[in-house]
Structure 1
Amino acid sequence: MSAQMKKALAVFTIIIIVLGWAITIWGAGPVPAIKDKIKLGLDIEGGVYVVMEAKTDATGDNLRKLMEQTQAVIEQRVNQMGLSEPIVTIEGQKRIRVELPGADDADEAIKQIGRTAQLQFFLADGTKVLDGSMVKDAGITTDKENGGYAVSLEFNKAGTEAFAQATQKAMSGAVQPQMEGVNARAIAIVLDNQIISAPVVNSVIQNGQAIITGGTGGFPQDEATNLSALIRGGSLPVALEEVNTSTQSATIGYNAFEESVIAGIIAIFLILFIMLAFYGIMGVAADIALLLYVILVLWAMGLMGTVLTLPGIGGFIISVGMAVDANVIIFTRIREEIATGKTVRVAVHSGFRRALNTIIDSHCTTIIASIVLYQLGTGPVKGFAITLLLGIIASLFTATLVTQLFLTLTSESKRWSAKKYYGMNEDNTPKHYIKKQFHFIKHRKIYYIVAACIILSGLIVGGIRGYNYGIDFTGGTMMQFNMEKQVDLSKVESSLKTVGIDASELIYSGANNSEIIIKTTASLDNADRNKVITQFNKDFGITEKNVVSVEQFGPSVGKDLRANAVKAVVISCIAMLIYINFRFEWKFGVAAIAGVLHDVLTVIALYGMFHVTINNPFIAGVLTVLGYSTNDTIVIFDRIRENLGIMKKKQLEELIDYSINETLGRSIMTSSTVLIVLIPMFILASNSIREFMLPLFIGVIVGTLSSIFMCSPIYYELAKGSDGSKYKGKKSKKSY
């Protein structure tokens, strides 16, 4: 690419960034501002979500079809409730998750969602001729006459007779239309008092099989599929049981949202400043790439219809911190190339080329963790995972293309190509670097002992005292009330006992202790929760409007959550092991997984030692740490692999020490940046965000230490105990 084209592309990129930020903040014409484009989760906007479990023994394809029918019926129902963008999704195998932004009555929502579908067939004069119990099956078929698709109906014996009589009466011309918009010769199909189809009868149907066509062109496939599912749902109702409920007030959610946004803005400005302070002209390029990165992630979320939750904001901020890593790897490589005596222009080119494999390898492991988290997580955890995943992909794009473009231009400029702008002296030595060479392998056993003591003591304390599991793990209910003044907790406890409820925990919350949080190990259904509200109305004069939030988890939810947590860690480890074995060799893979297990066990041990609550956000935090820790480890392993190919005469211990020391500055910088991002989130954000931040905060520190003091020494143990490495004596692959 010519210099003029590069300059034009750079100017175009700057224009895109400026316009992008303007549109993101204020909008432009038909394009709304991003705040109006991104959907807000219930924890921000307020509303109700309900998870219902189907009580059925169906399995395989039959279960899948039954759940799709149930989903279609519920979607039809909640769309009639007049709420803004309700969301109905199948969660797992037997559960339906319904999110109702703007709803404030969980009891009414559950009644609306859970009642059995009422499917009925009427003549145009309003005469009921048969109901859903008489429908044997409904499906889709091709419409050979009109094109497109049609819906096929099959009735049972009673339905066949009733439908034959109905079609005969419709064809007779004696029916006087009373139903609005229904043809005199039509039979209206009504679900929950709503007409979903009104096909006109063309002949008397006596064999119990009918076809509903969509006229010229037929039905589109999705419309035919939806209609058939609604009809089948009426004939195959499934009982639904509430297993998880949450009611969230918009006030507490929006306050938490504002705090999280402020923390995010502070975190981004901190990163911009740090990159400028430590990397000079390279930091300018990184900041330009970061500004584009933020726009890309936000608009990707908006266009994909991603629901932004408070944990999702946390995931976004973490991904910003991790995006710095790719730039730090590149800048470190460029400085190393200058140190060998190359010109800045050549160093920039070769530095990018040599950094590319490392960036791809390190980011892919975090992508694996994000995908597993998305597949096995629920609700807010999915939002956290998708935001993190989008952030990682965007960082790959901006670091490898945008940063490279601007650094290439500066390196070719007479004014900005001086080595001082790249953190180097004119004699090719770094301006700031750690001169001391640390001997990590020599002292490895000290860290083994320290790590073993921390893990064993934490697990023993947690095992004896018991871990502090949240209600989402154990099952139970959490209710938060605004009492409008501080009340005596003993009086609250007495009110609860009046309605037969024992609270496992009662604590104050809010300004001046005017709110109380009630936790029970029993999973309270709607009736029990309404008893509490009624009793509180008698004793304290509060109403349902004083309910700030409600969380209810059935025992089966907690059991599945624990199982999914273990499954997520195992699947992530296996996937990473396969990837690392493919990209490196098995010794590196085993060492990396050993580091992951060390990190997970250390976090669990610390939670057991200090009795910190283990809940759903804890799983997201641990899995993110899992990906981050492997990211850091891969960078060091990549350098070891490279040095094995070019430092043939060095002893393995000396070579590994040298490789760790080479990447030490990068490890410290990246980890420090992520921690700096976490700090404003931890201080300013809500409790729900802190629940995500705490395991991340601990995990980043533990993960950085393990990549240096645990994984590399374990690789040394494996390599020295066998025939060494397959890279020893070989020239590294094309990047090196």
Structure 2
Amino acid sequence: MSAQMKKALAVFTIIIIVLGWAITIWGAGPIPSIKDKIKLGLDIEGGVYVVMEAKTNATGDNLKKLMEQTQAVIEQRVNQMGLSEPIVTIEGQKRIRIELPGAEDADEAIKQIGKTAQLQFFLADGTKVLDGGMVKDAGIESDKQNGGYAVSLKFDKDGTEAFAQATQKALSGSVQSTIKGVDSRAIAIVLDNKIISAPVVNSVIQNGQAIITGGTGGFPQEEATNLSALIRGGSLPVALQEVNTSTQSATIGYNAFEMSVIAGIIAIGLIIFIMLAFYGIMGLAANIALLLYVILVLWSMGLMGTVLTLPGIGGFILSVGMAVDANVIIFTRIREEIAAGKSVRVAVHSGFRRALNTIIDSHCTTIIASIVLYQLGTGPVRGFAITLLLGIIASLFTATVVTQLFLTLSSESKHWSAKKYYGMNEDNTPKHYIKKQFYFIKYRKVYYIIAACVIITGLIVGGIRGYNYGIDFTGGTMMQINMEKQVNLNNVDKSLQAVGIKASELVYAGKDNSEIIIKTMSSLDNADRNKVIAQFNKDFGITEKNVLTVEQFGPSVGKDLRTNAVKAVIISCIAMLIYINFRFEWRFGVAAIAGVLHDVLTVIALYGIFHVTINNPFIAGILTVLGYSMNDTIVIFDRIRENLGIMKKNKLEELIDYSINETLGRSIMTSSTVLVVMIPLFILASNSIREFMLPLFVGVVVGTMSSIFMCSPIYYELCNLSGNAKNKGKKYKK
């Protein structure tokens, strides 16, 4: 690419960034601003979500079909509630998650959602002729006469007879239509008192099989599928039981949202400052890429219809911190190339080329963790995973394309190609360089002992005292209520006991302790929660409107969370091991997985020692720790792999120490940046964000240490055991 084309592309990129930020903040004509484009989760916008579990023994395809029918019926029902963009999704095998933004009454929502569907067939004069229980099946087929698709119906024995009589009467001309918009010869199909179809009868149907056509052109496939599902749902109802409920006050959510946004702006500002301070002209190029990166992630979420939750904001900000890693790897390589005597222009080109494999390998492991987290997570955890995943993919693009473009231009400039702008002296030595070499392999057993003491102590303490599992793991209910003044917690406890409810925890919250948080280890159903509100109304004068948040987790939900957490760790480890074995060799893979297990056990041990609550966000935190720790380990392993082919005369112990020292600055910088990003979130954001940040905060520290003090030494031990302690480059994959 010519210099003129590069300059034109750089100018175009700057214009895109400026216009992109302007549209993101203010919008432009028909294009809304990002705040109007992105869907806000219930923890921000307020509303109700309910997870209902189907009480059925169906399995396999029958269960899948039944759940799809139930989903279609519920979608039809909640769309009639007049709420903004309700979301109905199948979660797992037997559960349906219903999110109702703007809803305030959980009790009414559950009643509406959980009632059995009422499907009925009426003549045009309002005479009921049969009900959904007489429909044997409904499906779609090609409409050969009109094109498109048609809906097929099959009735049972009683339904066949009733439908034959109905079609005969409809054709007789004796029916006078009393239903607006329905032809006198039609039979209206009504679900929950709403007409979903009113096909006109063309002939008497006596064989129990009918076809509903869409007229000229037929039904579109989606419309025919939806109609058949609604009809099947009416004939195959399934009982639903509430297993998880949340009512979120919009005020609390939006305040938390505002503070999270402020924390995010501060975090990005800190990154921009750090990059400029430590990397000069390279940091400026990285900051330009970062500004584009933020736009790409936000608009990807908007266009994909991703729901932004408070944990999702945490995932986004964390991905910003991790995105810095790709740039730091590149900048480290460029400085090494300059130190080797190359010109700045050549160093930039070769630095990018040498860094590319490392960036791809390190980011792919985090992508694996994000995908597993998305597949096994629910609700907010999925929001966290998708924003993290989008962020990692965007960082790969911006670092390898945008940063490279601007650094290439600066390296070809007469003024900006001076070595001082790249953190180097004219004699090719770094301006800031740690001359001391650290001997990690020599003292590896010291860290083995420290790590073993921490893990064993934590597991023993947690095992004896018991881990502090949150209600989303054990099952239970959490209610946050605005009492409008500080009340005595003993009086609150007495009110709960009056209705037969034992609180496992009662704490103050909010300004001047005017709010209380009630947690119970037993799962309170709708009736129990209503009893609490009635008793509180009697004792404290508060009403349903004072209830800010309700979270309810049935025992089966908690069991699934624990199961999915174990599955997530195992699947992530297997997937990463396969990837590392493919890209490196088995010793690297085993050492990396050993480091991951060390990180997980250390975090669990620290939670046991300090009795920190283990809850749903803990799963997201653990999996992100897996990805981040592996990211750091891969960067070091990549350098060891490279040096195996170069430093053939060195002992393996010396080679590993040298490789770790080479990447030490990068490890410290990346970890520090991620921690700096977390600090504003931890201080300013809501408890929901803090619950995500805590295991990440601990995990980043532990993961960085393990990649240096645990994974590389274990690799050395494996080489010793297999007789490869002497460095023979030809025996290792390159």
TM-score normalised to the size of structure 2? 0.99
Alignment of 1:360-509 (within 5 A): 360-509=360-509
In the other structure, the counterpart of 1:201 is 201
In the other structure, the counterpart of 1:134 is 134
Q: 1:732 to 1:276 in 2, by over 3 A?
A: farther
8 Å CA contact 1:88–1:99 kept in 2: the answer is yes
Q: Deviations over 1:412-458 (max 9, x none)?
A: 00010011100011111111011011000000000000000000001
Cα distance in 2 for partners of 1:727, 1:534 equals 75
Structure 2: which amino acid aligns with 1:724?
N
Q: Deviations over 1:37-66 (max 9, x none)?
A: 000000000000000000000000000000
SS of the equivalent of 1:519 reads strand
What is the aligned length?
734
Q: 1:59 to 1:549 in 2, by over 3 A?
A: same
Structure 1: which amino acid aligns with 2:542?
I
Cα distance in 2 for partners of 1:672, 1:732 equals 32
In the other structure, the counterpart of 1:630 is 630
Cα distance in 2 for partners of 1:437, 1:471 equals 49
Q: Deviations over 1:7-45 (max 9, x none)?
A: 000000000000000000000000000000000000000
Alignment of 1:519-668 (within 5 A): 519-668=519-668
CA drift at 1:727: 8.9
CA drift at 1:716: 0.4
Q: Deviations over 1:578-632 (max 9, x none)?
A: 0000000010000000000000000000000000000000110010011000000
CA drift at 1:368: 0.3
Q: 1:713 to 1:732 in 2, by over 3 A?
A: closer
8 Å CA contact 1:646–1:730 kept in 2: the answer is no
Q: Which runs of 4+ in 1 moved over 3 A?
A: 725-728, 730-734
Alignment of 1:100-179 (within 5 A): 100-179=100-179
Alignment of 1:247-326 (within 5 A): 247-326=247-326
CA drift at 1:730: 3.4
SS of the equivalent of 1:348 reads helix
SS of the equivalent of 1:730 reads helix
8 Å CA contact 1:646–1:732 kept in 2: the answer is no
Structure 1 range deviating more: 643-652 or 717-726: 717-726
SS of the equivalent of 2:80 reads helix
Report % sequence identity.
88
CA drift at 1:567: 0.4
Cα distance in 2 for partners of 1:729, 1:594 equals 24
Q: Deviations over 1:367-405 (max 9, x none)?
A: 000000000000000000000000000000000000000
Q: Deviations over 1:98-123 (max 9, x none)?
A: 00000011000000000000000111
Structure 2: which amino acid aligns with 1:520?
T
In the other structure, the counterpart of 1:714 is 714
Cα distance in 2 for partners of 1:727, 1:366 equals 30
SS of the equivalent of 2:645 reads helix
Structure 1: which amino acid aligns with 2:296?
L
Cα distance in 2 for partners of 1:275, 1:720 equals 40
CA drift at 1:219: 1.1
Cα distance in 1 for partners of 2:552, 2:465 equals 25
Q: Deviations over 1:347-384 (max 9, x none)?
A: 00000000000000000000000000000000000000
Q: 1:198 to 1:528 in 2, by over 3 A?
A: same
Structure 2: which amino acid aligns with 1:455?
I
SS of the equivalent of 2:648 reads coil
Cα distance in 2 for partners of 1:730, 1:7 equals 44
The reply to whether residue 57 of structure 1 matches residue 49 of structure 2 is no
CA drift at 1:171: 1.0
The reply to whether residue 353 of structure 1 matches residue 353 of structure 2 is yes
In the other structure, the counterpart of 2:79 is 79
Unaligned runs of 5+ in 1: none
Cα distance in 1 for partners of 2:346, 2:647 equals 23
SS of the equivalent of 1:81 reads coil
In the other structure, the counterpart of 1:184 is 184
The reply to whether residue 42 of structure 1 matches residue 42 of structure 2 is yes
CA drift at 1:726: 12
In the other structure, the counterpart of 1:33 is 33
The reply to whether residue 17 of structure 1 matches residue 17 of structure 2 is yes
In the other structure, the counterpart of 1:704 is 704
Q: Deviations over 1:204-229 (max 9, x none)?
A: 10000001111111111111111100
Cα distance in 2 for partners of 1:627, 1:724 equals 29
Structure 2: which amino acid aligns with 1:495?
S
Structure 2: which amino acid aligns with 1:361?
D
Cα distance in 2 for partners of 1:424, 1:549 equals 56
CA drift at 1:124: 1.0
Structure 2: which amino acid aligns with 1:508?
Y
SS of the equivalent of 1:670 reads helix
Cα distance in 2 for partners of 1:586, 1:177 equals 77
Structure 1: which amino acid aligns with 2:2?
S
Q: RMSD value over aligned CA atoms? A: 1.1
Cα distance in 1 for partners of 2:664, 2:410 equals 27
Structure 1: which amino acid aligns with 2:674?
V
Q: 1:233 to 1:26 in 2, by over 3 A?
A: same
8 Å CA contact 1:476–1:524 kept in 2: the answer is yes
Structure 2: which amino acid aligns with 1:64?
K
Cα distance in 2 for partners of 1:585, 1:231 equals 56
SS of the equivalent of 2:97 reads strand
Structure 1 range deviating more: 229-238 or 174-183: 174-183
Cα distance in 2 for partners of 1:394, 1:296 equals 7
Cα distance in 1 for partners of 2:587, 2:173 equals 82
Cα distance in 2 for partners of 1:30, 1:37 equals 11
CA drift at 1:646: 1.1
CA drift at 1:729: 2.3
Cα distance in 2 for partners of 1:198, 1:354 equals 67
Cα distance in 1 for partners of 2:358, 2:186 equals 67
Cα distance in 1 for partners of 2:63, 2:731 equals 55
Cα distance in 2 for partners of 1:470, 1:334 equals 48
Cα distance in 1 for partners of 2:325, 2:173 equals 76
CA drift at 1:554: 0.4
Q: Deviations over 1:231-287 (max 9, x none)?
A: 000000000000000001001111100110000000000000000000000000000
Structure 2: which amino acid aligns with 1:418?
A
Unaligned runs of 5+ in 2: none
Cα distance in 2 for partners of 1:284, 1:572 equals 35
Cα distance in 2 for partners of 1:468, 1:354 equals 46
In the other structure, the counterpart of 1:511 is 511
Cα distance in 2 for partners of 1:86, 1:548 equals 20
Structure 1 range deviating more: 489-498 or 389-398: 489-498
8 Å CA contact 1:642–1:732 kept in 2: the answer is no
Q: 1:288 to 1:460 in 2, by over 3 A?
A: same
Cα distance in 2 for partners of 1:731, 1:532 equals 70
Cα distance in 2 for partners of 1:414, 1:420 equals 13
Q: 1:26 to 1:733 in 2, by over 3 A?
A: farther
8 Å CA contact 2:650–2:727 kept in 1: the answer is no
8 Å CA contact 2:716–2:725 kept in 1: the answer is no
SS of the equivalent of 1:440 reads coil
Structure 2: which amino acid aligns with 1:190?
V
CA drift at 1:126: 1.0
Structure 1 range deviating more: 275-284 or 215-224: 215-224
8 Å CA contact 1:641–1:727 kept in 2: the answer is no
Structure 1: which amino acid aligns with 2:287?
D
8 Å CA contact 1:598–1:706 kept in 2: the answer is yes
Cα distance in 2 for partners of 1:591, 1:512 equals 51
Q: Deviations over 1:47-88 (max 9, x none)?
A: 000000000000000000000000000000000000000000
The reply to whether residue 332 of structure 1 matches residue 327 of structure 2 is no
CA drift at 1:164: 0.3
CA drift at 1:185: 1.1
